[in-house]
Amino acid sequence: METQQVCILGATGSIGRSTLDVIAMHPDRFEVYALTAFNNIDTLVRLAWESRAQVVVVPDQVALRRFTTLWPAGRSLPEIRLGQQGLCETAADPAVDTVMAAIVGAACLPSVISAARAGKRILLANKEALVAAGAVFLDAVRSGGAQLLPIDSEHNAIYQCMPAELLGQVAEAPHPAVKKLILTASGGPFRAMPLQQLSSVTPEQACMHPNWVMGKKISVDSATMANKGLEVIEAHWLFSMPVEQISVVIHPQSVVHSMVEYVDGSVLSQMAAPDMRVPIAYGLGFPERIHSGSAHLDLAAQNALEFETPCFERFPALRLAFEALGTSQEACVALNAANEVAVEQFLHGKLNYIDIAQVVEKTIDRVVGESFEPLSTLDAVLALDEHARKLAQQFCLHP
């Protein structure tokens, strides 16, 4: 068996570190070729040292100097590449077989498209790239001959439950046997909080997810259910399913990771402990199954599994995503960009929790009333993304 050379985009994050955990369990199968980080260069030094990465990518000269200064004596430095260009070059590097896309936000777009054009196996944890540029990204996957494996736990679950003939390829049309995709959502930390208390919740409360430990942005998105909204759009692109055939159900235990309902009434689900190493190991090992290090489920010891319909009054961000998907790609770009800006402002204490969805809605409304060049290229998507971010910044000042 040849060892796979792996590049981890966003190695210092929650998904990046879980990926390194799984890789470390299988030294015969995987080698770390490249790691990237945007901040937290100290952690990058440690991870690159431990994994013997040959290449690292950092954002700028300041980070490069810090990396060089912190690198311990006794072993030569890895090659250090810089910025967005370094990310794109590394994602397409001929030495790389597999790219884990775990940079948070639309910032992942250029490098993940570069990996797609170069025909890599892409383990897609990032969801914002598909939300902003689904068509452009999937075109690059098809024309580059890349293999796309969803790592987001819901999409990984659906992938595992889809008809076997779809495995290993990107669906071109809705599968006639599939009636509906059912995404599960935990409901986050505010599922049962009285509505009037939502206006005073803090970033710390929003980041305290009941079942998963994740990066800050996705944690806030889970509290607002913007995360599930982004995942509805992600599912639309990954499985070529129209919005009417995608639904969301709250399942507070996070044991059933999502479901596929077939025309005969069968519903298939994938279950596992809430541990991202399970979908990561699925992607790394595909088509084989490999150990993930996760605890295994003990269903008899598990309390009841509950399911309930989400309330749009509590979770307006979820409604906005369904509406944006039904409206246009421009609306989806605006939704994602405005949400990234608003969450950042909320995390810095500059925006009220309930104003996150307000800012997103105002930005979408403004953008769909304007006209833009068709979103058929990465540059066109990035230009609209930039424009929507500026609008959202303004709306954050007066939500």
Binding stretches for ligand NAD (CB under 6 A):
10-16, 37-40, 102-104, 107, 125-128, 152, 212, 214-215, 217-218, 276
**Is the sign of the CA dihedral 213, 287, 260, 102 positive or negative?**
positive
Nearer Cβ to Mg ion (322/395): 322
Nearest residue (beta carbon) to ligand NAD: 13
- CA-CA distances (angstroms) from residue 277 to 16, 25, 193, 262, 292? 10, 11, 30, 28, 5
Nearer Cβ to ligand NAD (207/331): 207
Nearer Cβ to Mg ion (214/360): 214
12 makes contact, choosing from ligand NAD, Mg ion, none, with CB < 5 to 8 Å by partner type, with ligand NAD
161 makes contact, choosing from Mg ion, ligand NAD, none, with CB < 5 to 8 Å by partner type, with none
Nearer Cβ to Mg ion (49/212): 212
276 makes contact, choosing from Mg ion, ligand NAD, none, with CB < 5 to 8 Å by partner type, with ligand NAD
- Residue 59 CA neighbour count, 13 Å, CB half: 9
102 makes contact, choosing from ligand NAD, Mg ion, none, with CB < 5 to 8 Å by partner type, with ligand NAD
Candidates 144-152, 182-190, 277-285, 367-375; binding stretch for Mg ion (CB under 5 A) = 144-152
Nearer Cβ to ligand NAD (154/355): 154
Nearer Cβ to Mg ion (214/391): 214
- Binding of residue 152 to Mg ion (CB under 5 A): yes
Q: How far is the CB of 245 from ligand NAD (least distance, A)?
A: 22
- Binding of residue 340 to Mg ion (CB under 5 A): no
Nearer Cβ to ligand NAD (174/189): 189
Q: How far is the CB of 15 from ligand NAD (least distance, A)?
A: 4
Candidates 146-154, 277-285, 300-308, 331-339; binding stretch for Mg ion (CB under 5 A) = 146-154
Cα–Cα distance measured from residue 191 to residue 254, given in angstroms and rounded to the nearest whole number: 13
DSSP string, 228-284: HHHHHHHHHHHHT--GGGEEEEE-TT--EEEEEEETTS-EEEEE--S-THHHHHHHH
Q: How far is the CB of 276 from ligand NAD (least distance, A)?
A: 5
Unique residue bearing structure tokens 């009941």 = 210
Nearer Cβ to Mg ion (112/118): 112
Q: How far is the CB of 231 from ligand NAD (least distance, A)?
A: 9
* Cα angle 372, 373, 379; round to 5: 110
**Inter-residue contact 110 to 97 (CB < 8 Å):** no
- CA-CA distances (angstroms) from residue 173 to 131, 133, 238, 326, 355? 18, 18, 10, 17, 37
Q: How far is the CB of 376 from ligand NAD (least distance, A)?
A: 24
Cα–Cα distance measured from residue 192 to residue 170, given in angstroms and rounded to the nearest whole number: 38
The backbone region for 313, taken as left when phi is positive above 0, alpha when psi lies in -120 to 50, beta otherwise, is alpha
Q: How far is the CB of 207 from Mg ion (least distance, A)?
A: 16
Nearer Cβ to Mg ion (147/153): 153
What sections of the chain are H helices per DSSP? 14-24, 41-51, 61-70, 83-91, 109-117, 128-144, 153-161, 203-206, 216-224, 226-239, 277-285, 316-327, 329-347, 355-368, 378-397
Cis peptide preceding 72, ω within 30 of 0: no
262 makes contact, choosing from Mg ion, ligand NAD, none, with CB < 5 to 8 Å by partner type, with none
Q: How far is the CB of 385 from ligand NAD (least distance, A)?
A: 12
Cα–Cα distance measured from residue 168 to residue 179, given in angstroms and rounded to the nearest whole number: 21
Q: Residue 79's beta-bridge partner residues?
A: 55
Total of chain residues touching Mg ion, rule CB under 5 A: 3
Nearest residue (beta carbon) to Mg ion: 152
Q: Residue 259's beta-bridge partner residues?
A: 182, 269
**Inter-residue contact 183 to 228 (CB < 8 Å):** yes
Q: How far is the CB of 196 from ligand NAD (least distance, A)?
A: 29
Q: How far is the CB of 172 from ligand NAD (least distance, A)?
A: 25
The contact set with Mg ion (CB under 5 A) reads 152-154
